[in-house]
Amino acid sequence: MDRITLSGLRVRGFHGVLPHEREGGQWFTVDLTLGLDTRPAAATDDLAKTVDYGMVAQEVTAVVAGEPVDLLETLAQRIADRCLAFTPVREAEVTLHKPQAPITVPFDDVTITIKRSRA
């Protein structure tokens, strides 16, 4: 399976368990790796036979900026589901970063990585 990767998509969202996370929001970063067969697109040089990663970026941005959830696990699953809704995409690996997580000790980042595929 071929891979298309989109790294460092930054989106402001209002996710988290704590009230100040929901009220003030924070920045999230998303890294995506999409698994698909790119041979049909390569053979015809036709965007319609692959995934438009610009559209994927817009859809993922809408998910992160949209309806708040408590858990990173839920948000990552919603992102993966949106990616798999694109017909050519057979597999989606999502890494969701929450660098402003409410942790009281010094840290660089909190991430969750999930990998989902069509059944």
* Positions marked catalytic: 98
Total length of the chain: 119
> Could you identify the residue written with the tokens 């991430």?
111
Collapsing DSSP to helix, strand or coil, 44 comes out as helix
- As a whole number of Å, the end-to-end CA separation of the chain is 15
Task: Give the whole-angstrom CA distance, residue 84 versus residue 69.
Answer: 20
- Which residues pair with residue 3 across a beta bridge? 35
